[in-house]
Amino acid sequence: MNKLPISDFVVSDGEVNQYYIKLKKQVESSGYHLNPDVEFTKSLLKSIILNDKRYGYESCPCRLAGNDKAEDLDIICPCYYRDPDLDDYGTCYCGLYISSEIFNGKKKLKPIPERRPSPEDREKLKMESTTGILSSSSIPVWRCKVCGYLCARDEPPEICPICTAEKERFEQFN
């Protein structure tokens, strides 16, 4: 149980600025981009820090946290849906992470549909995953032809997090 009522947690501007500087460096060095609208981005980061204080994990600002880390592993920022959403829409659900195309102003940032399954569907998925093993053959493995980095996901990352090679320079490995 939280000691404080949920609305009583506060985050200072100093905390936000520190978090922003650290995250920005880390994000850029791994080939991602934060939304260049600094005010918008900082307000999301403030919410992430706030959620961490409220729930004990950095729950996504645009989703309702269940106050149960095991149930919310998929929406701890960065969430499981970020990269598929970057591939399909050029932005994560909250608009915190965006593609190069949007970052460079070639495309406009727009809100996108929610990819996280509904509470009912999440229950169903949980039941399925206890009865079957994740089929490894259903997920493609990609190899960076520059540095050999391997990752198992629907598409290669926009930029290799190890050597910053572009997506086109990956090949399917399996």
Partner 1 sequence: MPMQHVDGKNEGKIVLYALSTCGWCRKTRMLLEDLNLEYDYIYVDLLEGDEKNEIIEQVKKWNSQLSFPTIVINDEKTIVGFDEEGIKGLPG
Partner that binds at residue 49, options ligand SF4, partner 1, none, CB closer than 5 to 8 Å by kind: none
SS3 34: strand
116 part of the interface to partner 1, by CB under 8 A: yes
* Closest CB 36 distance from partner 1, rounded Å: 14
Beta carbons of 65 and 2 less than 8 angstroms apart: no
65 touches ligand SF4 (CB under 6 A): no
C-alpha span between 105 and 94 (Å, rounded): 18
142 binds, among ligand SF4, partner 1, none (CB under 5 to 8 A by kind): none
Beta bridge partners of 76: 59
Residue 64: name its binding partner from ligand SF4, partner 1, none (Cβ under 5 to 8 Å by kind). Answer: partner 1
Does the CA dihedral 113-114-119-123 come out positive or negative? Answer: positive
For 108-166, the DSSP string reads --------SPPHHHHHHHHHHHHHS---GGGS-EEEETTT--EEESSS--SB-TTT--B
Contact map string, positions 117 to 136, toward partner 1, x by CB under 8 A: xxxx----------------
Whole-number minimum distance, CB 133 to ligand SF4, in Å?
26
Residues lying near partner 1 in the complex (CB under 8 A) are found at 5-7, 40, 43-44, 47, 50-51, 61-65, 94-95, 111, 113-114, 116-120
Residues lying near ligand SF4 in the complex (CB under 6 A) are found at 44, 60-62, 75, 77-79, 81-82, 92-94, 96-97
